[in-house]
Amino acid sequence: MRWVTRHDAKVDRIACPWLIKRFVDPEAEFIYVPPDEVERVAKGGAIPFDVGGAELGHQGHDCSFETIVKKYELRDPALALLARIVHGADVSGEVGVMPEAPGLMAIAEGFSALYGTRDHEKLAAESPVYDALYAWCQSRVAAGAT
């Protein structure tokens, strides 16, 4: 499947493709476009995410990562922990919700400074950070410390 979102990705628009590729659609192709082009690309068959009005966008208090976890019924406790961290890093005013969130937000800003709007390069470079953070979440869950 093809998936589309806004360009200039930071937290959620990097975390969501990592989540989708790893747990929902291993063959996913991601398209980053200016905000005013998302609807046009979606009409061509791509699934929109992390954009206003999208089913897989911010819903209520949830960020897009959390929405995708719920939509695809991903019941992994380590993913639930990771979702809380992503939420804190992504949702304005929520950075204190998890102690790891400020670090993830800083990492996302750092990758943005390094790669600018080269979103596919940014996604490729940053995905191992999410692999490592997910592994850390798994170890925390296994230790009973969530």
> What's the pTM?
0.95
DSSP state of 48: E
SS3 call for 58: coil
- The share of the chain scoring above pLDDT 70, in percent, equals 100
List the structure tokens of 32: 């980053």
Which 8-state DSSP code applies to residue 35? G
First to last CA, the chain: 33
Give the model's pLDDT for residue 94.
85
> For the CA atoms of the chain, what is the radius of gyration?
14
Question: Hey, how many other C-beta atoms are within 10 angstroms of the C-beta on 61?
Answer: 9
Contact criterion met (CB below 8 Å) for 84 and 98: yes
Q: What are the tens digits of pLDDT across the range 48-96?
A: 999 999 999 999 999 999 999 999 999 999 999 999 999 999 998 888 8
* Number of Cβ within a 10 Å radius of residue 75: 9
Residue 56: DSSP 8-state: B
How far, in Å, are 81, 89, 136 from residue 84 at the CA level? 5, 9, 14
